Amino acid sequence: MNLKRNRKLLIKLSVAISFLLIAAILLTGCVSGMAPIGWSGVSIGNNGMAYAGSKEGKLVAINLTNNAVQFSDALKIPPATGLSCASSSGSSGSACGGAAPAVAIYGDPAFVTDVPIIGNTVGNIVVVAGYNGVVIAYDASNPRTIVWQYPINGYLKPIISGVTVSDRTLYFGCTDKNVYALDVTRGIEKWRSTLGDQIWSTPVVDNNLVFVGSFDKNIYALDAGSGNKVWSFPTGANTVSTPLLADGVVYVGSLDRNLYAIDEKTGQKKWSYPAGNWFWAKPVIVNGVIFAPNLDGKVYKLDINTGKPVADPSDLGGQVSSWPVVINNQVIVATQNGKLLSLDTANFSAGPNLISSIVQNVSAPLAAVGSIVYINGPDNNLYTYNISNGAKTTISLKQ
Amino acid sequence: MNLGPWDIAMLQWMINLLIALSHFLFNNFGLTIIIFTLIIRFVLLPLTLRQLRATKAMTTLQPKLMELQKKYGKDKQKLAQEQMALYKESGVSPAGCAIPMVIQFPIWIALYQAIILVLAVSPEALLNLSRYFYSWALPLASLPMNNNFLGLNLAEGNAALAVVVGITMWVQQKMVTPTTQDPRTAQQSQMMLWMMPIIFTFFSLSFPSGLALYWVVSNIFSIVVQYFVTGWGGLNFSFRRGSKESGSDRDRKLKKRLAVEEAARKEIANKSSDDAEKEGIDDGKSGDIRENSGGSDQKGSNPIKRWFGRG
């Protein structure tokens, strides 16, 4: 009798606990993007290959002649610092999604030519930074061969910023508050500059100055040779987006909902323009007009000299967090609600044209070669759309 | 933007309120979670009180329900009728315990979903947060929130805070756990008393400690409210009679006390039955516990009626 009763109790208890566990997991953070997944874009090399960070934490090389994955290599998962998705370590998806643990890759890989690979052999490398806090340079012809990695041992804090290469130096920001400059041929640190808070924005370089936004509510110009601060420009909130440089002016959006134009040399504000939500994506400039996507679902079209709107903003009906590209004098934009749209740069008042319906929640920067736009989707597929003839392909990055 | 009905109805206003509140609380998200949790719990206080009162009333009825079970256990229809009659007479509704809890449940879920979203523990979460902003000028300078609070990183699990969640939840559970004669119910109560704190301790370790902070504040609030409504409840024995008594000692004493009360009740019932026979009066209800109930439910002194009369 007692045995029977205990069994019944055990069953009831198991059901209750299971229900509670499932309910809690479904209803809390794991459904709300607690785990870092990554939104790496695509880098197109001059060797007929495209390189992208996959949602499985791998650098994937795709042969563009046959759209086949040629190589891939998984970024190393750092030792766990937490029990599950609450952890800020590099691994993701371990406890929440049920997927295999993987390193999130946020920044686009960088393709660098003419780098000594083995001995005196000169070749191309592709460099990628991961949420595991490691920057790795692979042989571009075989991404299973690591040319160098930084740091050689251990891990930095998670890297969300992309990498930029200029004058044989590689720059990236880190959530440890530092901007790093490495010798791109050997991965040796040249300098690091400590700012006030973590850095998500990808540094950009012009006229021996490195421009980067920080979570300390400032935009910085650093000396590219030494890392010393040249000027800082205060904004009302943190900066996530990557600055755009044109004709001696830094254009950068902030989480204070403003787009700023700052003189590159002096750090003085030229103008600012307020919008309805955060400026997250890097804008583009066409014919003297800056096209700045905003998370309010609109693309603002402003005169680059005055900051005045040249037309009403184009309402795309969905947030834009991925960087647009320019193809055939059209601004190509992907929205979070699954639309690939084009904006006319000859007639600013014209509404957006729908090119195609695409996968939802695209956050990766778009890339373009000729009339083909490349989209690294959140579903671990790489999509290509030919703007001229409407041809589409889907390449699975799953390995 | 592209928000579902749940997001618009529950999450959006909570998130905007959290962000606005943090602006006035020195951009301290830990303090914001504490104050926000207290605000929500105070707003829900009428429902909480109603639930606690109903639970207390149900607990008080337990001995009578047990007696009915014994008396009409084989006749299910009669048992149901008698139970309904007892509920009606006492002014207690069994649904009174559940309905306020059901109403509060979505708000609790939304509250900790909002906290998770505002914590923005991953880049995707920060981007996702932007969907919830109202168009009016929010003080966004503090986003993402400063996750440091008293040395804790609110975006990561914390073992010490997880233990505090477990302890406060155990105390709260202990206060509401009714003392019962039914060994099966007692066993279930004991299981729940321990399982809930263990599960929530595990969750607190696994999820951002900002959530754990919410649970701690919420538990302490519940403990305080329960103390004022029902007293220490299940914690009575530990606090009043000394903690050296073991659980089995307490159970034995409780059973002994209940047996004495039962005997006294029977004696009163027999006596009144004899008196009625002597006077030649038999109203046919001498065995009805609703008329002859002993203990605290004497005529004119029903604590449940007094309580509900007050509420």
Q: Compare A217 and B251 and report the one with higher pLDDT.
A: A217
pLDDT at position B66 is: 77
Q: What is the reported pTM?
A: 0.76
Measured between CB atoms, which of B2, B140, B211 is closest to A336?
B2
Tell me how many degrees the CA angle A31-B116-B197 measures, rounded to the nearest 5. Answer: 90
**Chain B residues inside the 8 Å CB shell of A298:** none
Instruction: Give me the helix-helix angle, B183-206 and A2-27, nearest 10°.
Output: 30
- How far CA A122 is from CA of A126, A139, A275, in Å, comes to 13, 10, 48
Nearest-neighbour CA in chain B from A65: distance (Å)? 33
* Shortest distance, CA A240 to any CA of chain B (angstroms): 10
> Which one is predicted more confidently, A186 or B232?
A186
pLDDT beyond 80 at A266: yes
Distance (Å, rounded) from C-alpha B122 to C-alpha A32?
10
CA-closest candidate to residue A254, choices A264, A243, A241, A263: A241
Contact B124 A5 (CB under 8 A): no
Distance of CA A166 to the CA centre of its chain: 19
Question: Whose CA is closest to B145, among B128, B126, B158, B166?
Answer: B126
User: Does the CB of B194 have a partner CB in chain A at under 8 Å?
Assistant: no
pLDDT of residue B58: 74
- Among A82-86, A178-182, A389-393, the least confident range: A82-86
Tell whether A235 lies on the interface with B, counting CB pairs under 8 A: no
φ and ψ at A123, to 5 degrees? -155, -160
Is residue A136 in some structural domain?
Answer: no
At A106, list the tokens.
């946020």
- Chain B residue whose CA is closest to A90: B122
Count the residues in chain B. Answer: 311
Q: Which domain holds residue A350?
A: 275-399
Residue B120: closest C-alpha in chain A: A34
Asked if residue A94 has pLDDT above 60, the reply is no
Give CA–CA dist B3/B11, Å, rounded: 10
Tell whether A274 is within 8 A of chain B (Cβ).
Answer: no
Contacts of A313 (CB under 8 A, 6+ apart): A275, A294, A298, A299, A300, A301
A243 near A253, Cβ under 8 Å? no
In this complex, do B184 and A318 lie within 8 Å of one another by their Cβ atoms? no
- Asked if residue A24 is part of any domain, the answer here is yes
**Confidence (pLDDT) at A220:** 97
- Tens digit of each residue's pLDDT (9 = 90 or more) over A270-298: 999 999 899 999 999 999 999 999 999 99
User: Least CB-CB distance to B135: which of A238, A276, A363?
Assistant: A276
Ramachandran quadrant class, A151 (left: phi over 0; alpha: psi -120 to 50; beta: rest): beta
With residue A110 as reference, give the H or E element that holds it. strand A110-116
* pLDDT tens per residue, range A226-248: 999 999 999 988 899 999 999 99
Tens digit of each residue's pLDDT (9 = 90 or more) over A161-185: 999 999 999 999 999 999 999 999 9
What pLDDT score does B20 carry?
87
Round to whole Å and give the CA distance between B11 and B18. 10
pLDDT tens-digit profile of A99-137?
457 899 999 999 999 888 776 788 899 999 999 999 999
Is residue A329 in a domain? Answer: yes
- Between A298-307, A317-326, A381-390, B253-262, the lowest mean confidence (pLDDT) is in B253-262
Q: Mean of the pLDDT values across residues A37-53? A: 93
Interface subset of A 115-174, CB within 8 angstroms of B: 160
Of B144, B205, B207, the CB nearest to A29: B207
CB burial class (10 A; 0-12, 13-18, 19+) of residue B90?
buried
Between A325 and A99, where is the model more confident? A325
Q: What residues in A contact B208, CB-CB < 8 Å?
A: 29, 34, 86
ipTM higher than 0.90? no
**Residues on chain B touching A200 (C-beta within 8 angstroms):** 123
> Given this model, what pLDDT does residue B295 score?
38
Task: Flag if B191 and A9 touch (Cβ within 8 Å).
Answer: yes
Which residues of chain A have a CB within 8 Å of the CB of B155? Answer: 86, 88
Per-residue pLDDT for chain B (311 aa), expressed as one digit of tens each? 678 888 888 889 989 888 888 888 888 889 998 998 899 888 888 888 877 777 777 777 777 877 887 777 777 788 888 878 887 777 777 666 666 667 767 877 887 788 888 877 789 988 988 888 887 766 666 677 777 888 888 877 788 889 999 999 888 888 877 666 666 666 767 777 788 788 888 878 877 788 889 889 988 998 898 888 877 766 665 444 544 444 455 456 556 666 666 676 667 666 656 665 555 444 444 334 333 333 333 333 444 333 333 33
Q: Which of B1, B6, B16, B8 is nearest to B118 (CA)?
A: B16
pLDDT at position A167, please?
92
Distance CA(A113)–CA(A93), nearest Å, equals: 34
Say what the pLDDT of residue A342 is.
95
Residue A96 within any structural domain of the chain: no
Tell me the C-alpha distance between A64 and A311, whole Å.
Answer: 38
Is the Cβ pair B126, A13 closer than 8 Å? Answer: no
User: Is B161 exposed, middle or buried, given 0-12, 13-18 or 19+ CB atoms closer than 10 A?
Assistant: buried
Sequence letter at residue A109: P
Residue-level pLDDT at A386: 94
Q: Do B187 and A21 touch (CB under 8 A)?
A: no
- Any CB–CB contact under 8 A between B156 and chain A? yes
CB-based contact A17 B195, cutoff 8 Å: yes
Rounded to a whole number of angstroms, the distance from the CA of A233 to the nearest CA of chain B is 15
- Give a yes or no: residue A379 inside a domain: yes
- Chain A residues touching residue B187 (CB < 8 angstroms): 9
**In this complex, do B113 and A32 lie within 8 Å of one another by their Cβ atoms?**
yes
Q: Do B116 and A34 touch (CB under 8 A)?
A: yes
* Count of structural domains within chain A: 2
Q: CB–CB of B156 and A87 under 8 A? A: yes
Q: Which residue of A has its CA nearest to B155?
A: A86
- By CB neighbour count within 10 A (0-12 exposed, 13-18 middle, 19+ buried), where does A171 fall? buried
- Mean per-residue pLDDT of chain A: 87
Contact A367, A53 (CB under 8 A): no
Question: Can you give the length of chain A in residues?
Answer: 399
Strands B152-153 and B148-149: antiparallel
* CB spacing of A34 vs B133 below 8 angstroms: no
Distance CA(A72)–CA(A65), nearest Å, equals: 17
Among the partner-chain residues B126, B156, B191, the one whose CB lies closest to the CB of A86 is B156
Task: Name the closest residue on chain B to residue A2, using Cα atoms.
Answer: B184
Judge whether A11 is closer than 8 Å to chain B, CB to CB.
no
User: Are B144 and A200 within 8 A, CB to CB?
Assistant: no
User: Is the Cβ–Cβ distance between A63 and A48 less than 8 Å?
Assistant: yes
Partner residues linked to A149 by β-bridges: A136
* Helix, strand, coil percent values for chain B (each to nearest 5): 75, 0, 25
**DSSP conformational letter for B187:** H
If you compute the radius of gyration of chain A from its CA atoms, what whole number of angstroms results? 23
> Which chain A residue lies closest to B119 (C-alpha atoms)?
A34
Among B2, B134, B202, the residue to mutate for chain A (most A Cβ within 10 A): B2
A160/B123 CB distance under 8 A: yes
Name which of A12-21, A329-338, B2-11 the model is least confident about.
A12-21
Mean pLDDT of A137-152: 89
From the list A17, A24, A81, the residue facing B203 with the nearest CB is: A24
Q: Is A307 part of a structural domain of the chain? A: yes
A52-56, A82-86, B219-223, B226-230: range with highest mean pLDDT: A52-56
> How far apart are alpha carbons B206 and B154 in whole angstroms?
12
For A237, the closest of B143, B199, B203 (CB atoms) is B143
Report the first-to-last Cα separation within chain A, whole angstroms. Answer: 55
Report residue A370's pLDDT band, with 50, 70 and 90 as the boundaries.
very high
Q: What pLDDT sits at residue B291?
A: 38
At position A178, the amino acid (one-letter code) is N
Q: Tell me, what CATH number does A359's domain have?
A: 2.40.128.630
Q: Given an 8 Å threshold on Cβ–Cβ distance, is A83 in contact with B208? A: no
DSSP structure string for A94-142: TTTT-SPPEE---SPPEEEEEEE-STT-EEEEEEEE-TTS-EEEEETTE
**pLDDT for the residue numbered B286:** 39
| 8 Å CB contact of A256 and B125 | no
Q: Which residues in A lie closer than 8 A to residue B191 (C-beta atoms)?
A: 9, 13
